[in-house]
Structure 1
Amino acid sequence: MTDLFTTQPRAPLAEQLRPESLDDVVGQSHLLGPGKPLRLALDSKKLHSFILWGPPGVGKTTIARLAAKAFDHEFIAESAVAAGVKELREAATRAQQVLDHDGRSTVLFLDEIHRLNKSQQDALLPHVEVGRLTLIGATTENPSFEVNSALLSRAQVYVLKPLSDGELRQLFVRARPLLGDLAFEEPALEAVVGFADGDGRRFLNLLEQLANAAAAAGVTRVDGSFVSSASAATTRRFDKGGEEFYDQISALIKSARGSDPDAALYWMARMVDGGVDVRYLARRIIVLASEEVGNADPRALEVAVNAAEAYERLGSPEGELALAQALVYVAVAPKSNAVSVAWHQALSFVRSDRTRPVPLHLRNAPTQLMKKLGYKKGYRYAHDEPDAYAAGENYFPEDIPEQRWYQPTPRGLETKIGDKLDHLRELNEQARKAEKS
């Protein structure tokens, strides 16, 4: 409330341009356009609980407020960071009072809903279940990882997208009358759009920052160099340990697996630009070399390990070049996951099997007692055999049938490994047939 002694602060540009209706929302046409899921849900005249999942500055809070306004519902806004069980129960009590007094329902908007702990979610659940509260949550994190299944089953999840360059330019058209006589050259506007990185709130804040800087400097026309000098460097969307982090490392791995070195370098650059712990990237490249290349080119593992060591000695940014070199090598190397498949099959077999004793002929016999008990008896020393191979010998525990988990691919060095194994298995067959006859 204002009076003669109260001065209201000037609202930020982003707040001044906050939409007054769903039709004014810029972006999210895949949800709010005619016939689209959220629009249909809101047009049904029955508001349901839902969670808005998307990056910052794409309209989550605005959509929640407008949804409550469209249905003339009481609106309670809380942040999951600050709201405890006590605040959630107070919101439920207030909702019941509003319902009893004038029959209006209540929307509880929970920002950063992924930060709710188990006790908070348990306290909220019964009120959502009976309809005392209609929950609208907002999150930048994957709700399937952070919100329990009971709450998720009662709330539809809608995925919001970053604003496109064209949508950011729509915001510029709306903001233009509030920027006075300040003119923006096209390269300047293009730079601001790039800095915003799909975040509408950041875009409007940048415009306001530039307008204030221009007014202070007496500038009436903003060009690209003024944007660079007046705007702090901004990082792209990257949340260490968050959804964006895992999406990007997944893209890097799949690019290298798919033998696309340029795409792999792109995702590595995105992560380095976003502030990733580069040692984490080094570890992932080593895993790629072993898991995706394997014995098709064993040198890939050596290159990856050497690159990680080079990074430890050089640090950033010089050491990043060594990691980029290793990533490119892994990406273009012949691919084989044969060892990875074989290892997991062997591990699964052992974990589901009983404990089997080591056959006597495979045991060492360092004492006379062990020798008397038959340890090492009948063992064939491979180096004393033709071609250093004991054809027909069995190295598995008794009663385990022959296993062939490792199946070399017809790529790279594994082509020769496969030929070698085929030859040795043929020798085994010949030896066993001779033994039977």
Structure 2
Amino acid sequence: MPCGADMNLFTSLPLSSSVFSEWLDGSVPQHPYFDDNAKIQSIVSNIKHRLMSFAIEACHLVLEEIPCEQPQHNVLSQTLSAKPSLWWAVLLAQRYGVIYFMSRGEAQSTYYQLIRKHAVETDIIDNFLRSNAAGVRIINYAVHAYITRGDLHVEYSTFCVPPNAIAAVGPNHVVVRKGDFINRPSSEVLASHSPMWDLHDFAHLSSATLDETLYGNKYQACLVQLPKRLTALIRSPGMRTATGPKISDGLVFSELLTKMYTDAVADISKNAKQTYKSLCTDLANMLAEYYLAKRGLEHPSTGQTMMLRQPILPIELAVLVQNKSYELPASEIEQRVLTRGGAQATTEDALLPLTARERITWLAKSRNWGYFEVRNTIKHRAHKEAYRIVCEELMTQTTDEFEKALLQKTNANILYKDWKAGHRLILWDELPQM
């Protein structure tokens, strides 16, 4: 499976490139239906339109909190009634956690010209949304309303659903913790000045809507049937303290791969340029050696060097590969849904110091990935590529018939061979249950 484009890291594409039909690193993700640009755009637009209708509802509620005689109140009230799309634009450009909910495509096709035409009003709305965390509060309310009043099929579970998370099963079908939504009044949500949700979950919902069988999670339907020692590989307990499984998805992705990526990019800035493909390949090869117990890797939160005593087992690999079949496509489709930034104090987030109007302008004109977008997606690509390398290595070593068959199925899952043959395998269903 290709790791990425053979194009220098952070290179800008020509202005003639389309953010609706091309992918910013110059490659097309090797996932079924990711070439159906019109369908992806329709899915994302529908989800965000419904979300933002609730956001406008919240805008009215927040605006009612301030006195009518306050400066700019008339402008805010008039634009909210007459130009709600302008409020949409400024809301989407607000910083929410480490995410800006506006994509480059939206900025280029819809909002750039709008905020240029209404520059003064845009700045007034932006100042209002930044004050008293109004923008964050509004998005909090909108997501809560989308789940509770958005005509979705909502199921409830605490298994593999972190607090305040939204697990996407398929079109209009999600799993959440009941206490996060049904038992939490909207007034409480609107009062919260801190981001409550992870907007990346709407990238998962977008990919799950694109194809439920391929990209909709099967945690509650399938993973829950496995022994706890295997589900721990996905739940990732103790990943920050290095006290949990050394091959858990969370520990490897959030700890080991983050350090590997940071070090690799630092080396690139000092030395020769590297391509997306070569960076992905380098990370994948190092990580494959870790899974095969051939090298140690640093766990940055503890400073420990992690080293496996024995190679990953085929059954463990199958558990992890199935999970990556949901995580990687969601990371890829983010480009059509949102823009990923960094922590508050980071210097690599180009959008962080900008106003909403400046952010929309930047997004409309940008033709290259940002540091954190590259980090997230390249880490996922390298993670999956490492699984492929390890799978092929283990296939040459095992003599156990069950393991041989399982590794063949795992390889088929990684390369979508099963889907191309007409039947997508759920690897969790191929494993011994409780």
- TM-score when scaled to structure 2? 0.20
Higher Cα radius of gyration: 1
- TM-score when scaled to structure 1? 0.20
Q: Which has the higher contact order (CA 8 A, sep 6+)?
A: 2
